[in-house]
């Protein structure tokens, strides 16, 4: 009955059609063209759901919603008949029991055309209900992307165990580095009012295979661990459970003091150990499938084991021991650096954690960002990948664009994620990619995963723009299959989100694929990094040199002077390259072999350094800055040609955002040219205009109020 009502409601919806505000994300089940619908309809006549679990119900509801919407006629529960879609596991369906599921892992699915009682049916099968749920979304995706479904035999299993969305949401509703409104968690009204949006959120996460949600900021407020919030977390967990999603929280290391009333948070103190154990017991009594803790320790003002002269492993293990009996895990962040440490910031996490390999409990993983500094438009891979063979490691990527233009730039980030996943650590010889570190195949780790720092907020379109949704989508797909291609993912997303028309998909996917490189070009080409304005990181600030600690200043990162530019991280400089495997280090150290995209990350070179193109470094820099601007202009032009294929709302918003990005790219380029010219003292290459204003003009552009303030901001 419920399914029938969903289907009916869906069919009535188009008549009430509201503006395309992006709320539906890629789960946009609008009626397809009549001819296509006629082709698909015979293979989707009814839903036969075996099993009574809430996960199977969620899967069947989604199919009813999706198929009814796409086909433009109610598709609801029915008996086995021609064209039925049968859901089940070996335990719930004799039909599934007869299938070969040996290739699947526990969350994988098989979608197969077969016969049942003489009828041609499609079976969506999993070893567990979770597989069935993922299979249901995969089946809908086939139709949304207009793949044939009449004769199917396909299977897929996630390669990583924990695929988790990390929200940097504060308990007061603000979001650190959030550019899409406020937190969607309305703690104040929970648990009595559970916003239906939580369910839509869970549907979206499940559709891309995300199976964990860490609800609060890594700069954690300790109150999340109090009974008041545990009650609310339990209610949220109940909404997520039918979607096979576990709840996790960021735990503040000093919580035993702040909310526990203890005098210390020293991990070796028996009272502290007991406190964490009791806390874990309390949480699991309310949330039996609670996932575990994410911890940011000894970084940017956060407390941690160093405060008690203990190691990061001592700190992680006390929490791990508390969670272990319940099956929970600790995700210990590698983002550790200190304002008091004079070592190259890019080296500090490795220095701190590498000696601890093998000292962490087996339910602890170390979670490292893609690069050693901080979510820059481009960084080389983090040296800890490949260097911790006896420790499980998660890769953390940022979906929200803190350093890449906040909400408005188009930057499609999957190529960035793909670049790091495919980077070769050489830890066990060639082919030791980051992908193989995190999927466990390189060192045999079994606790595998990937985390994405959310770009989700209360904006109607969830992520601040339609194209930002693609970063959310791509994260899930890459966490499921870290070997997936960013272009193929963009194509799927595009077809589900906009239209399958090749006249649209072709040019717009090309535009997406070029968009992150455009940001690299107009902001920080050739290995430059961290030249953004202070605190909020919005706009250029390469000149900033007056902040208290050296590594807070962009000048620390570019080292420009009369002789040249770049951070010498070779043995003649900070020797950060020594933290990489010898083969990788040799490549980075060698001016002739280093990929130019990383040149200034590792080397300080003269302005006249000869590049592969034959040009000087200075000319090459200017050309990159201008190329970046040109790419944003091209994107604007591409989009202008797409008007016939897009609804007016999403067309207009995207067009406006592209214009903003073009403008900001020009601002970046001009500011960089104006500033770095003062060191290079070289003319611009022919055909490249000087900055229209002098340096003081750009330095004077100051934004005091930018969304997404960090709790550690001054
Ligand atoms: C930096 C952000 C800061 C975060 C920090 C982190 O600027 O807001 O708290 O990363 O990852 O990128 O902990």
Quick one: pLDDT at residue 602? 98
Closest CA to 334 of 292, 382, 381: 382
Largest CA distance in the chain: 82
Residues of the chain with CATH 3.30.379.10: 2-156
Quick one: pLDDT at residue 208? 99
Residues of the chain with CATH 3.20.20.80: 162-497
Residue of 335, 367, 370, 394 with the most ligand 1 atoms within 8 Å of its CB, for mutation: 335
Task: State which residues of the chain have pLDDT below 50.
Answer: 14-17
For ligand 1, atom 1: residue with the closest CA: 374
Quick one: pLDDT at residue 249? 99
Q: Which two tokens stand for residue 679?
A: 């060191």
Quick one: pLDDT at residue 548? 86
Angle formed at CA 170 by CA 164 and CA 173, multiple of 5 degrees: 110
Quick one: pLDDT at residue 550? 86
**Cβ(538) to ligand 1 under 6 A?**
no
The catalytic residue positions are 300, 374, 402
Check if the beta carbon of residue 250 is closer than 8 Å to that of residue 216: yes
- Compute, in angstroms, the gap from residue 172 CA to the centroid of ligand 1: 18
- Compute, in angstroms, the gap from residue 333 CA to the centroid of ligand 1: 11
Q: Where are the beta strands (DSSP E) in 50-108?
A: 84-88
Q: Is 705 helix (H, G, I), strand (E, B) or coil?
A: coil
Give me the CATH code for the 162-497 domain, please.
Answer: 3.20.20.80
Residue of 369, 402, 404, 454 with the most ligand 1 atoms within 8 Å of its CB, for mutation: 402
- Compute, in angstroms, the gap from residue 253 CA to the centroid of ligand 1: 17
Q: Is 45 helix (H, G, I), strand (E, B) or coil?
A: coil
- Compute, in angstroms, the gap from residue 504 CA to the centroid of ligand 1: 36
Residue of 221, 300, 401 with the most ligand 1 atoms within 8 Å of its CB, for mutation: 300
Place of tokens 């609800």: 215
Quick one: pLDDT at residue 549? 84
- Compute, in angstroms, the gap from residue 177 CA to the centroid of ligand 1: 8
Q: Is 172 helix (H, G, I), strand (E, B) or coil?
A: coil
Angle formed at CA 639 by CA 636 and CA 641, multiple of 5 degrees: 115
Quick one: pLDDT at residue 15? 42
Quick one: pLDDT at residue 16? 44
Separation between Cα atoms, residue 371 and residue 524, nearest integer Å: 15
Residue 268's CB is within 10 A of a number of other CB atoms, namely 15
- Compute, in angstroms, the gap from residue 368 CA to the centroid of ligand 1: 12
User: Would you state the CATH architecture of domain 2-156?
Assistant: 2-Layer Sandwich (3.30)
**Cβ(176) to ligand 1 under 6 A?**
yes
Separation between Cα atoms, residue 631 and residue 288, nearest integer Å: 50
For ligand 1, atom 10: residue with the closest CA: 374
**Cβ(218) to ligand 1 under 6 A?**
yes
For 517-562, write each residue's pLDDT tens digit.
999 999 999 999 999 999 999 999 999 999 888 888 999 999 999 9
Which atom belonging to ligand 1 lies closest to the Cα atom of 217? 9
Which atom belonging to ligand 1 lies closest to the Cα atom of 396? 11
């Amino acid at each position: 009955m419920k399914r029938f009502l969903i289907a009916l409601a869906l069919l009535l919806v188009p008549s009430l059609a509201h503006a395309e505000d992006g709320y539906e994300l890629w789960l946009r089940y609008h009626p397809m063209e009549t001819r296509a619908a006629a082709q698909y309809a015979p293979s989707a006549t009814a839903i036969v759901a075996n099993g009574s679990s809430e996960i199977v119900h969620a899967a069947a509801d989604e199919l009813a919603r999706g198929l009814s919407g796409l086909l433009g006629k109610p598709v609801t529960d029915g008996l086995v008949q021609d064209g039925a879609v049968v859901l089940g596991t070996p335990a719930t369906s004799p039909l599934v029991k007869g299938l070969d599921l040996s290739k699947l892992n526990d969350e994988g699915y098989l979608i197969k055309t077969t016969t049942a009682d003489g009828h041609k049916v499609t079976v969506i099968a999993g070893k567990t209900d979770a597989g069935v749920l993922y299979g249901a979304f995969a089946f809908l995706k086939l139709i949304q992307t207009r793949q044939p479904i009449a004769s199917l035999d396909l299977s897929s299993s996630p390669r990583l165990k924990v695929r988790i969305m990390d929200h940097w949401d504060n308990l007061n509703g603000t979001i650190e580095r959030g550019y899409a409104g406020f937190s969607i968690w309305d703690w104040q009204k929970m648990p009595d009012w559970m916003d239906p949006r939580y369910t839509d959120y869970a549907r979206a996460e499940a559709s891309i295979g995300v199976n964990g949600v860490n609800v609060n900021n890594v700069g954690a407020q300790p109150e999340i661990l109090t009974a008041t919030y545990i009650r609310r977390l339990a209610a949220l967990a109940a909404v997520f459970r039918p979607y096979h999603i576990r709840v996790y929280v960021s735990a503040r290391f000093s919580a035993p003091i702040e909310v526990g009333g203890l005098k210390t948070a020293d991990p070796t103190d028996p009272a502290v150990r007991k406190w964490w154990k009791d806390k874990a017991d309390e949480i699991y009594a309310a949330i039996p499938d609670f996932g575990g803790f994410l911890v940011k320790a000894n970084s940017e003002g956060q407390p941690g084991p160093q405060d008690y002269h203990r190691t990061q492993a001592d700190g992680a293990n006390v929490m791990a021991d508390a969670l272990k009996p319940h099956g929970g895990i600790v995700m210990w962040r590698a983002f550790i650096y200190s304002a008091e440490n004079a070592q190259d910031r890019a080296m500090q996490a490795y220095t701190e954690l590498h000696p601890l390999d093998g000292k962490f409990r087996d339910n602890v993983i170390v979670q490292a960002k893609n690069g050693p500094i901080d979510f820059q438009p481009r960084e080389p891979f983090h040296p800890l990948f490949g260097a911790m063979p006896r420790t499980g490691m998660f890769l953390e990527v940022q979906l929200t664009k803190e350093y890449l233009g906040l909400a408005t730039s188009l930057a499609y980030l999957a190529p960035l994620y793909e670049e790091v996943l495919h980077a070769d650590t050489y830890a066990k010889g060639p082919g030791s990619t980051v992908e193989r570190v995190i999927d466990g195949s390189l060192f045999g780790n079994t606790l595998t995963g990937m985390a994405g720092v959310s770009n989700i907020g209360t904006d109607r379109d969830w992520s601040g723009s339609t194209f930002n949704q693609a970063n959310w989508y791509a994260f899930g797909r890459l966490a499921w299959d870290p070997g997936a291609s960013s272009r193929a993912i963009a194509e799927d997303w595009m077809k589900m989100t906009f239209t399958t028309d090749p006249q649209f998909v072709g040019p717009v996917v090309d535009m997406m694929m070029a968009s992150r490189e455009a940001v690299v070009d107009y902001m920080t080409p050739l290995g430059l990094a961290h030249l953004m304005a202070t605190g909020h990181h919005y706009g250029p600030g390469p000149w900033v040199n007056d902040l208290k600690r050296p590594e807070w200043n962009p000048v620390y990162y570019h080292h420009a002077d009369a002789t040249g530019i770049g951070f010498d991280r070779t043995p003649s400089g900070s020797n950060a390259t020594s933290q990489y495997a010898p083969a990788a280090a040799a490549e980075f150290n060698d001016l002739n072999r280093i990929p130019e995209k990383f040149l200034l990350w590792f080397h300080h070179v003269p302005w006249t350094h000869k590049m592969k193109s034959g040009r000087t470094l200075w000319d090459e820099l200017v050309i990159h800055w201008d190329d970046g601007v040109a790419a944003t202009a091209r994107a604007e032009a591409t989009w202008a040609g797409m008007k016939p294929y897009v609804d007016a709302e999403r067309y207009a918003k995207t067009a406006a955002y592209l214009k903003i990005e073009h403008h900001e790219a020009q601002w970046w380029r001009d500011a960089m040219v104006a500033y770095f010219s003062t060191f290079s003292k070289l003319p611009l290459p022919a055909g490249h205009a000087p900055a229209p204003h002098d340096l003081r003009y750009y330095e004077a552009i100051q934004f005091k109020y930018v969304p997404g303030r960090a709790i550690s901001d001054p």
